[in-house]
Amino acid sequence: MLQAYVLYRFLKTVFASAFVLSLILLSLQLARLGSVLFGLPPADALGFLLVWSTFYTYFFLTEGVIVATASLLFFFKEKRLLHVFYAFRLSNARIFTFFAVPFLLVWLLSAGLSGVLLEEKVAFVRKNLLLKYTERLFRELPPGQFIRVGKLVLHAKEREGNELRFVFFKTEGLTVTARRLRYEGSGRFRFFDGHILTEENGRYFLVAFAEYELNARQFERKKLRAKRVRESKAVNYANALSMPFFFAAAFWLCLKGCTRLTHAYALTAVLIVLHQLLVFTVKLLL
């Protein structure tokens, strides 16, 4: 009975905590991605949110383990249930095994997904989502306004059907001014009667043109970057390997040192910060 209760409470708290942390991180990102998400069809936006929440719920499983272990153990201490367990000759090691069973399930899940759920895949989806939004802005840009999306800036004085007039376009390393711009679909934009300003090795080059075609999809990432994939896997493996340490630390430190709720909060916060510092250090070393 006790094992089933610990299993249920532990797993529920782990996944709920990890999911809430992923939502908190998403809310911080909405300052940058909010206009993109709300400016795209619901299917695209929901697809990105699903990928985001799935990865970061997985990423924060260690934090969920820390929260679940400390909170459930302190609940037993606060309700004086540990004394009841001791009365039935349950040792601390035996109680630890009750927590270890659900932890093992979470840890196996984390280890199994380490090579599948990668941060690089989230970046890939986010990049393509941004490109879709950029393409839509080209089609629907209101005249007389500056639009900025990431490193891209666009301004057009007038619009006539599918053409923009007196256009200013700027992206990383490239600036285009043109009398006319026509969107031709599939990310292709054709400029007429203008100039291109480029920079190379600290020198600027200005070239006049009668017609110039820009394919926005040339900037699109056609495949995942192999180096970033390896780095993402390394971070995931480090995350999974560190999980048993943080689980054991949360259990024994809470058991021995937490006599007040504030102690449990402080312990949880310190362990979470240490885990994030570990992940950050691994990223720096890669």
Could you please report the per-residue DSSP string of 7-55? Answer: HHHHHHHHHHHHHHHHHHHHHHHHHHHHHHHHTS-HHHHHHHHHHHHHH
Which among 108, 98, 105 has a CA at the least distance from the CA of 72?
98
The per-residue pLDDT for 155 is 83
The per-residue pLDDT for 38 is 72
The per-residue pLDDT for 186 is 64
Q: Which residues of the chain have pLDDT under 50?
A: 221-222
DSSP 141: P
Show Cβ contacts of residue 238 under 8 Å, excluding neighbours closer than 6 positions: 278, 279, 282
Cβ 196 vs Cβ 209: under 8 Å: yes
Residue 180 CB neighbours (<10 A):
18
Cβ 128 vs Cβ 146: under 8 Å: no
Which among 59, 46, 77 has a CA at the least distance from the CA of 19?
59
The per-residue pLDDT for 270 is 96
Termini Cα distance of the chain: 46
CA distances to 3, 137, 141, 156, 157 from 146, rounded to whole Å, are: 61, 11, 9, 8, 10
CA distance 152 to 206: 19
Cβ 56 vs Cβ 91: under 8 Å: no
Place of tokens 């630890």: 96
Instruction: Kindly compute the dihedral angle of the four CA atoms of residues 184, 188, 194, 196, in this order, to the nearest 10 degrees.
Output: 180
Domain layout of the chain by residue ranges = 2-118+225-285, 144-219
Helical H segments across the chain, by residue range: 2-38, 42-59, 61-78, 81-87, 92-113, 119-140, 226-257, 261-285
Q: What is the pLDDT of residues 261-284, one digit of tens each?
A: 899 999 999 999 999 999 999 988
Cβ 139 vs Cβ 161: under 8 Å: no
Q: What is the pLDDT of residues 175-193, one digit of tens each?
A: 889 998 887 766 677 889 9
- Supply the pTM of this predicted model: 0.74
Place of tokens 């026509």: 182
Residue 251 CB neighbours (<10 A):
22
The per-residue pLDDT for 115 is 84
The per-residue pLDDT for 217 is 57
